Chains A and B, each alone.
Chain A
């Protein structure tokens, strides 16, 4: 065939058209492959896949989940892959739910943000969902993280009432009870003061009531509290001896006695004899204080004794004991302002009550410090955590999903001590094979130069 200008033009057009069509085909195939794909986890026991419970939960969470991790940077030279393992952990969730955003920060590089978020542990995660926020610390596993998501996922906010109605409820301020409200809001609770007109309406729905004894209750409020408890409602009660006297019926039901004096520790009394705060670091084995090891601070702690009448059916647990660590060191470690004799036993400052009412459990926590929910008190991480744990317990917010961890078959390496095979493999891979190949390289080079 003779080539002329026309046939050449035709050939060029043909090839260009073919090129464009091929490109379009590639793009189309790529698009289709991205839209309709099939994914399979080939690993042992499908270790990259989430359990069905987690997948179903994520399907019920349509909004974006924002995860911020405060983790130190990986030192790859030392084999430190802490951040990477966090990314791998979160990738499992991101594969199921692509709108999980992950941000990794270093607490050293962003100290202000870390302080604002109250970060205490390397690797601590802050998970935000629909303006609620919760923290989780390593070690991570699917059960813990999924249960955290479960708590965040509940669309209906848990309603917590506050009495008396004079209590400041301003979630935008840290003053007064502002920090408490803010903290509870971020944990998914809706906190409202119970005004007169709402009282009857709210009484039916209210699960948990925070009773703040720093201000006096009026008669209606006192009646409301008694009705709430009689109905089987839960209660967080900040108490001193005066407020206990004002609610005599409730005090009697709970068999509660509140010391008239404030507990003091030797270490907390200043040189001029003035009183300062007391520390607690002994906690009972209870759902609230399980694995709790931080030091909580009480600024006006009263000793509590709970001996409820048998017919009431209450089971009482002394949750927090003040200065128990010093009890055996010296009897002078404790004294009360109005009692001349030194007290030699640790003081109970927080009590947890629980009983069965019809088909549900009723729970009450009494704190013998009316300032425990104040802003200075909640600035202590331990206090904040204790309050969070108490609220979780009162609102039945404990773990609900049980997810078995996936078994790893290759986690243990059993190398017989007498066997020389491991060393042989190591030396062969590290020295022998590279040396042989290096020798062959120089041999070929030498032969080529000679030829």
Chain B
């Protein structure tokens, strides 16, 4: 049943122009940044741009592309997730789903995984265009792997939070706006506490957690943080829907 929910959601995404439009926007932005970063790197190699120390191509181009991708996800995920639950409630199709012989966990997980699956397509495209540079230099695949893993975990947390917010309202636009604001708050929590970098609030910042992946480090504490956030918000979503099923 879980697989059927995922397939249905993915089909819906590709049947709508929103899915294709987002893929196109992502490819366009990444394409521009890709060529721009490459030409900038040539300038660095020629010594026209000052750097503190020597920097490799993988890090130079990876920092630009993965960093920008995380910000693009900040916009895309609320827009995609708003239709997963809020729109179903608005169109009154949620009742059919809740009465179907399928558990709430499967519904929520199916929707969550379909969203992740769609966003992973973008990540795969990103990895491909970076890895193709290995034809002309010895790319740092460890760095790329750490960044991809970090971005995937970030996307997973964003999706779980957005899905939860989408379950709270019947208004898709409100769900998207709220999700966007909450994600910004989670992402840049460390900026609010710039003077005190070791506070508990700063350690909840998603960007702070993403930084170690962004430089090519794997930290089990950061992985655990993202998995816990994703798990917790999926659980909250299931409880919210359960509450709605009981109380209507």
Contacts and interface: CB of A to CB of B under 8 A. Distances in A.
A43 B63 CA distance: 13
B20 A437 contact: yes
Contacts of B138: 44, 409-410
A123 B52 contact: yes
A15 B142 CA distance: 44
A339 interface: no
Interface string B22-62: 01100110111011001011111100011111111111000
Contact of B31 (A44, A48, A82, A430): A430
Scoring B17, B35, B63, B129 by chain A CB atoms within 10 A of each residue's CB, the highest score goes to B17
Contact of A85 (B17, B24, B51, B132): B51
A396 interface: no
B96 interface: no
Interface stretch (B100-108, B158-166, B167-175, B210-218): B210-218
A38 B54 CA distance: 28
Contacts of B146: 42-43
A422 to B, nearest CB: 7
A123 B23 CA distance: 40
A216 interface: no
Interface in A13-48: 15, 19, 22-23, 26, 29-30, 33-34, 37-44, 47-48
Given A33-B221, A410-B56, A411-B57, A441 B140 contact: no
A42 B218 contact: yes
Given A26-B228, A47-B216, A139-B52, A412 B137 contact: yes
B145 A42 contact: yes
A38 B220 contact: yes
A89 B203 CA distance: 21
Interface residues of A, number: 63
A140 B54 CA distance: 9
Nearest to A414: B136
Nearest to B197: A101
Contact of B220 (A11, A37, A81, A85): A37
B198 A79 contact: no
B72 interface: no
B232 A434 contact: no
A9 interface: no
Contact of A138 (B52, B198, B218, B243): B52
A194 B95 CA distance: 92
Contacts of A22: 232, 235
Contacts of A430: 31-32, 34-35
B17 A445 contact: yes
B198 A98 contact: yes
Interface string B120-160: 00000100010011011111101101100000000000000
B24 A437 contact: yes
Interface string B202-244: 0100000001100111111100110010011001000100110
A425 B55 CA distance: 23
A43 B216 contact: yes
Scoring A41, A410, A429 by chain B CB atoms within 10 A of each residue's CB, the highest score goes to A410
Given A41-B217, A141-B53, A410-B58, A19 B239 contact: yes
B239 A15 contact: yes
A412 B55 CA distance: 10
A444 B17 CA distance: 6
B199 to A, nearest CB: 13
Interface in A162-185: none
Interface residues of B, number: 68
A44 B142 contact: yes
Contacts of B40: 79
Contacts of A41: 142, 216-217
Contact of A89 (B42, B52, B132): B52
Interface string A394-413: 00000000000100111111
Contacts of A40: 217-218
Contacts of B133: 413
B53 A44 contact: no
Interface string A57-93: 0000000000000000000001111100110110100
A429 B126 CA distance: 10
Given A34-B221, A82-B52, A437 B23 contact: yes
A140 B53 contact: yes
A1 interface: no
B35 A140 contact: no
Given A410-B140, A441-B17, A37 B219 contact: yes
Contacts of B219: 37-39
A43 B135 contact: no
A439 to B, nearest CB: 8
Contacts of B52: 82, 85-86, 88-89, 123, 138-140
A339 to B, nearest CB: 49
15 contacts: A15-B242, A22-B232, A38-B219, A39-B212, A39-B220, A43-B59, A79-B43, A139-B53, A408-B54, A409-B56, A410-B59, A426-B35, A429-B129, A444-B16, A445-B17
Closest 8 CB pairs of A and B: A42-B142, A33-B224, A437-B24, A43-B216, A37-B221, A434-B28, A409-B138, A79-B40
Given A26-B228, A438-B28, 4 more contacts: A29-B228, A123-B52, A409-B138, A411-B54
